[in-house]
Amino acid sequence: MVLNKVLKLFCLVKKKDTKKKGKSINPLCKASAPHPTVNVTNNSILDPVSTGTGTVQLVQKHVPECSSVISSMTMREYGSESDGYNLFNQFDVVQDFSDHYYASHSPGKTSKDWAKAIQNEWKLLQKDLPESIYVRVYEDRIDLLRAAIVGPAGTPYHDGLFFFDVRFPSEYPQCPPKVHYHSGGLRLNPNLYESGKVCLSLLNTWWGTGCEKWGKSKSTTLQVLVSIQGLVLNDKPYFNEPGNKNSANTAPGEKNSLAYNQTAFILSCRTMLYSLRNPPKHFECLVARHFHERERVILDACSAYISGTVVGSSSGDGTKYPRNNRTFADFKKSLEKYTELLRKDLATNHTRFLKVTRDSIASDEIAAVSSAADEIAVSACG
């Protein structure tokens, strides 16, 4: 099978363990150096342009009820916490990389150390991904990876899906991976450019010294993804901009931060529309399920913000914009427009979700028949 072939390449196939179910996998054939624990806290060294309030916020668990054929293979190999199509695996191996941003970039001349470093990344990602980050790696291009990050609660990015394409260059892990953000032509954060550039010290795309920069023996792709979610997509992204940091906790700075959050939420809504209309390959199920589950929450949040609730705050906590706020009037008008567009696209997504679910059930049934045939063939050969 596809997954077994790749795992054998990385020496990760394990004997079935009837006592332990889930997505974790056994250690490598030979024990490798342990990865550092991902721990993003206040005053984190991972991104010098963070606000200093970079604690990663817990997000509600999103468990899309659909899976690919390869996801089914993974579940049969390792077991799962739910049956059949009820799980969109957080980590999975897929084949088609044709729409990946770095698809045309050849991995070049690589080494065993390069392959082993990627092998360790796969293992760590499969074992330790937060519940709101999803990753796909590619059977025929182990230098490529795609991740989906759910916007954290309490930020202007809440309930959004943000996609990143990753490439491990031939010099990896001596140098950091290359990361491209699927921006849809929008700049909704100082660290995420319309061009797709991700500005982060851990990627050596922003200034930093010592352990603020990528380290070949201590830095990981998991750290990069968690840093993007917790430090870049934070509650006050206005202060990510170096020139704005000194105005934090001042009246003018906080006023500008509120206005920036309004703009960021509008752009986040536009990013939702972009994802709904152009879901990245291998994440169609996640997009359909995520927005099916969060439809009511997203539309309720839009309504609350239109009524004056501060972006990112709970509609029940009473936090409102000051009266006669000129920026709020412009924000309200723009948000009313995009709320209606979202309402229409989310309704269309409901139909798409039902179709994706039906197709996924059919795929699982085909995979189950194929697996049974393989087992019969093996038994006959034995």
Query: What percentage of the chain exceeds 70 in pLDDT?
Result: 69
Whole-number average pLDDT of the chain: 78
For residue 265, CA distances in Å to 37, 59, 255, 331 come to 32, 17, 16, 10
Catalytic annotation, residues:
199
DSSP characters for 256-277?
HHHHHHHHHHHHHHHHHHHHHH
Structure tokens given for 377: 């063939």
3 state DSSP class of 64: coil
Q: In this predicted structure, what is the pLDDT of residue 321? A: 75
Phi/psi of residue 148, each to 5°?
Answer: -115, 130
The amino acid occupying position 184 is G
Radius of gyration of the chain (CA): 22
C-alpha span between 265 and 146 (Å, rounded): 24
Average pLDDT of the residues in 182-186: 97
What sign does the CA torsion over 334, 336, 342, 344 have? negative
Q: Model confidence at 102, in pLDDT bands (50, 70, 90)?
A: very high
Res 13 pLDDT > 80: no
More confident residue, 3 or 334: 334
On the CB side of 288, how many CA atoms lie within 13 Å of its CA?
22
**Cα 232 from Cα 191, distance rounded (Å):** 7
Enumerate domains of the chain plus CATH numbers. 86-373 (3.10.110.10)
State the pLDDT confidence band at 61, using cuts at 50, 70 and 90.
very low
Is the CB of residue 178 less than 8 Å from the CB of residue 196?
no
* Over residues 58-80, mean pLDDT: 36
pTM: 0.75
Q: Does residue 82 surpass a pLDDT of 90?
A: no
Q: Which of 255, 110, 242 is nearest to 168 (CA)?
A: 110
pLDDT over 60 (residue 16): no
Note the pLDDT tens digit of each residue in 216-253. 889 999 999 999 999 999 999 999 998 999 999 999 99
List CB contacts of 144: < 8 A, sequence separation 6 or more: 97, 100, 102, 103, 137, 138, 165, 166, 167, 168
- Judge contact between 80 and 22, C-beta under 8 A: yes
Q: 356: closest CA among 303, 283, 251? A: 283
pLDDT of residue 194: 97
Lateral strand order in the sheet of 178-181: 91-94, 133-138, 144-150, 161-167, 178-181
**Which percentage of the chain shows pLDDT scores above 90?**
60
